[in-house]
Amino acid sequence: MFAKTFRNTLFTSTLLVGASLMVGGIAKADTTSGGEVGGTVAAESAVVFTTNGTAGTINAAAGQTNFLLGTLKIQNNDPDGWTLAVKSASGGLLADSVSGEDLAYTAVTVATVPGQTTNTSVTPTTTDTQIVVAGYHDDVAADVGVTVNITCDITGEEVPAGTYKDTLTFTISNN
In a domain, 61, yes or no: yes
Total domains in the chain come to 1
Q: Count the neighbouring beta carbons within 10 Å of the beta carbon of residue 84.
A: 23
pLDDT of residue 60: 84
| Per-residue confidence (pLDDT) for residue 113, from 0 to 100 | 94
Strands 146-154 and 102-110: antiparallel
Domain residues for the domain of 51 are 45-174
Q: Is residue 4 part of a domain?
A: no
Residue 114 forms part of a structural domain: yes
Decide if 53 is inside a domain: yes
In contact, 169 and 70? CB cutoff 8 Å: no
Q: Write down the pTM of the prediction.
A: 0.77
Q: Which pLDDT tens digit goes with each residue over 148-161?
A: 999 999 988 888 88
What's the pLDDT tens digit per position in 51-83? 987 768 888 888 899 999 999 999 999 999 999
User: Long-range contacts: 48-55, Cβ < 8 Å, 24+?
Assistant: 48/72, 48/73, 49/150, 49/168, 49/169, 49/170, 51/168, 54/163, 54/164, 54/165
Q: From the centroid of its chain, how far is CA 51?
A: 20
CATH number at residue 159: 2.60.40
Chunked mean pLDDT (size 10), the chain, 175 residues: 53 49 63 92 93 82 90 96 96 92 93 93 94 96 91 89 93 96
The per-residue pLDDT of the chain, averaged, comes to 86
